Amino acid sequence: IMFNAASIHDILQNSRHYGFDTRFTFNLPQLVERRDKYIRRLNDIYRNNLKNDNVEVYEGTASLLSERKVLIKSKNATGNDDKNNEIIEGKNILIAVGNAPVFPPVKGVEHTISSDEFFDIKEAKRIGIIGSGYIAVELINVIKRLGIESYIFARGKRLLRKFDESIVSELENDMKKNNINIITMANVEEIEKVHDKNLTIYLNDGRKFENLDYVIYCVGRSPNTKSLNLEKLNITTKDDYIIVDDNQRTNLKNVFAVGDCCMVKKGKELEDLNLLKLYNEQVYLNNKKNDTGDSFYNVQLTPVAINAGRLLADRMFLNKTRKTNYSLIPTVIFSHPPIGTIGLSEEEAINTYGKENVKIYESKFTNLFFSVYDMDPSQKEKTYIKLVCVGKEELIKGLHIIGLNADEIIQGFAVALKMNATKKDFDETIPIHPTAAEEFVTLHPWMSK
């Protein structure tokens, strides 16, 4: 919803190029009210669905007593009061507790908020976001278009350090054109609250940024597993993530986990993932080994959790065998312009297969939507696309796009890559004209490197 609001801002602001005389004002509190009303309605739908399916809902804090029993401490209980606590028992236990924002041990961190509290903001003039991942990038682009002076602080030399470098370069250029302040090599030393009101960020190199209404930390998330009593049941974990096999089963036969709270131990049928190395902020393949030499991967995306949960239910109750396939998962960053990506970046492909075995096709153009904009062509928003091909057959191992409607374009190409499409397959596809998506199937040899 916030992404849509920011997109509407861009359309209204530039509608004069299409002959519309549009004067507009923006009412953030009204948007917040309508957004929250929609979310409440959505939550009510989920609650009613559970009720209609005769699912009992217990509200409280859960901890495991055994691989078949769960203790639920009522949310209304205080101290050692356990009269409202309940113990429920079942054949299996499924853990799907998600994760929560992480706050680093920085002086003054108590004055900051997380990405979750961002949605409570109703008014601000200046906001700083600490972090360079996809959540930070999405929020800062929305914040700027809501009329708020915006600063994003990246610890390294660029944003989205695990994404394709060319794509990120295009994004940073667009952000700078829209007056978003990108502060790189920013190691935060302190956040100070001045006169019980505004905030100041101090960096360790002496730079400081004053008069911020809010500072939002977006430096990662951690699984909500600490209260589950996992260690007493000897359930295997890694950095608080629950370790499961490709059936979503823990080391206890009747305890399962899905979603952002777990990491999947790689099995033989997933060895192809060793070659893919999907290192990006959302599709994260953790190749670090533990003391036993095992390696794990963790994909923190809502559709992945839904898929894993549905297939687990199918295996449990319908005697089906299909498991979640974690290879070639498409990812979208809802920035402005949006980014769509699937598979290997150029850098990852070269590191994996060798530069001599990798061929890159790329194109940069102005979307037809911006053709009538009365401005210097160099200032018009560009669309940039890239194909990462491997081997003599030019198997497409990566596909990347930044530009208008990239979020909608990427899904169809994800199917093509899952089916092992080659550059020849793309070349033999008749394009739909005039669209931005057609550029992927009209990339000529002289567009390669």
Query: CA separation (Å) from 277 to 38, 353, 390, 397?
Result: 38, 11, 14, 11
Confidence class of residue 74 from pLDDT cuts 50, 70 and 90?
A: confident
In a domain, 80, yes or no: no
- Same domain for 316 and 376: no
Final residue of a structural domain among 288, 309, 327: 327
Q: What angle do CA 386, 342, 303 make, to 5 degrees?
A: 150
Judge whether 102 and 189 are in contact, CB under 8 Å: no
- Provide the 8-state DSSP code for 78: -
pLDDT value of position 81: 65
Residue range 166-195, pLDDT digits in tens: 999 999 999 999 999 999 999 999 999 998
pLDDT value of position 77: 67
pLDDT value of position 15: 96
Confidence class of residue 431 from pLDDT cuts 50, 70 and 90?
A: very high
Find the mean pLDDT for residues 38-51: 97
- Same domain for 215 and 125: yes
Domain CATH for 443: 3.30.390.30
Identity of residue 6:
A
pLDDT value of position 80: 65
Indicate the SS3 state at residue 116. Answer: coil
- Same domain for 179 and 146: yes
| CA 44/CA 32 separation, integer angstroms | 18
The percentage of residues in the chain with a pLDDT greater than 70, rounded to a whole number, is 92
Residue range 253-306, pLDDT digits in tens: 999 999 999 999 876 544 443 333 333 333 333 333 444 456 777 889 999 999
In a domain, 71, yes or no: no
| CA 221/CA 412 separation, integer angstroms | 30
Q: How many domains does the chain have?
A: 3
- Same domain for 202 and 112: yes
- Residue with structure tokens 């004002």? 25
Residue 351, pLDDT above cutoff 90: yes
Check residues 276 and 54 and name the one with the higher pLDDT.
54
- Same domain for 372 and 277: no
Q: Where are the alpha helices (DSSP H) in 109-164?
A: 134-145
Find the mean pLDDT for residues 120-145: 96
In a domain, 73, yes or no: no
Report the chain's mean pLDDT, rounded to a whole number: 91
Residues 6 or more apart in contact with residue 380 via CB below 8 angstroms = 366, 370, 373
pLDDT value of position 319: 96
- Same domain for 155 and 114: yes
pLDDT value of position 294: 62
- Same domain for 323 and 358: no
Final residue of a structural domain among 199, 221, 243: 221
- Same domain for 396 and 321: no
Residue range 374-409, pLDDT digits in tens: 999 999 999 999 999 999 999 999 999 999 999 999
- Same domain for 173 and 112: yes
- Same domain for 422 and 353: yes
Residue range 226-237, pLDDT digits in tens: 999 999 999 999
- Same domain for 318 and 207: no
What is the residue range of 124's domain? 101-221
pLDDT value of position 269: 43
Domain CATH for 155: 3.50.50.60
Q: Which backbone phi and psi does 138 adopt, to 5 degrees?
A: -65, -45
Judge whether 135 and 224 are in contact, CB under 8 Å: no
pLDDT value of position 281: 31
Final residue of a structural domain among 177, 192, 221: 221
Judge whether 390 and 397 are in contact, CB under 8 Å: yes
In a domain, 269, yes or no: yes
Of 9, 17, 433, 444, catalytic? 433
Q: Is 111 a catalytic residue?
A: no
In a domain, 81, yes or no: no
